[in-house]
Amino acid sequence: MYICNCTKIAFQLRYFIELSYKGTNYHGWQVQPNAVSIQELLNKALTTIFRTSINVVGAGRTDTGVHAEQLFAHVDFDKAIKTEKISYKLNSLLPNDIVVEKIIKTTENAHARFDATSRSYEYRIFLGRNPFLIETTLQFNNKKLNVVKMNEAAKFLITYTNFQCFSKSNSNVKTYTCVVRRAEWIQKDKMLIFYITADRFLRNMVRAIVGTLIEVGEGKITIEDFKEIIESKNRCKAGTSVPAQGLFLTQVIYPKTIFKHE
């Protein structure tokens, strides 16, 4: 019998599932009562394969419409599995916009969420109109952004650790502390991408940061205003959150010691 839960059992074997998905058609990662989510479909596929109820634990939850180029979930079994075979079966059951990249054996206590040491996101803006990118970028038509000033303001994100001003209101978190290691805009032709890496992220944090930095680029607020917004710890002072379709979770990093090489 195959099982999956967080209760410790004898001879438990833990695996990480690495997957990617286009989030346009889903209400985020986490299981929702009346909406289709990535976690729900992965659970159903595993349950179909092993003929017993299985629930995976994800590295975090992406919101409705947000995409992931890399996300991990962990799952427990009571005996070894053939990882390549299960990956193939999962991909045959999942929709085409969800892909299992691989399944990796880990140490018994490895946790997809709590063991992650860093996460990286990209927010993608297309400066113009492109019908083929409408579901994966925010499109700015006939609007000029001062990218130099946006980058100057973004540097402050590395010097602060409390980001309550960019957190979704009424979030049930114990701390608003995040250590940001990278925050920069890079433009190539018509594509403008915001890259940000941190040890953790608050709910809606990246989209709120991008929305506020866009206001800097549009000249609506100054670089000093951006600094004062961070110091205020007040969500009402920050800019509007940008739409979900431009946001990608691109990388989740773990200590190498949690992986077992078969």
- The residues carrying an active-site annotation are 63
**19 bridge partner residues:** 71, 100
Distance CA 126, CA 15 (A): 38
How many other C-beta atoms can be found within 10 angstroms of the C-beta atom of residue 151? 19
- The answer to whether 123 touches 242, Cβ cutoff 8 Å, is yes
* CA dihedral for 239, 135, 144, 188, sign (positive or negative): positive
Orientation of helix 223-232 relative to helix 147-154, angle to 10°: 30
> Which whole-number Å values give the CA distances from 262 to 6, 84, 252, in the listed order?
23, 12, 21
- Furthest-apart CA atoms within the chain: distance in Å: 62
Helices (H), 137-248: 147-154, 156-159, 205-217, 223-232
How many other C-beta atoms can be found within 10 angstroms of the C-beta atom of residue 206? 25
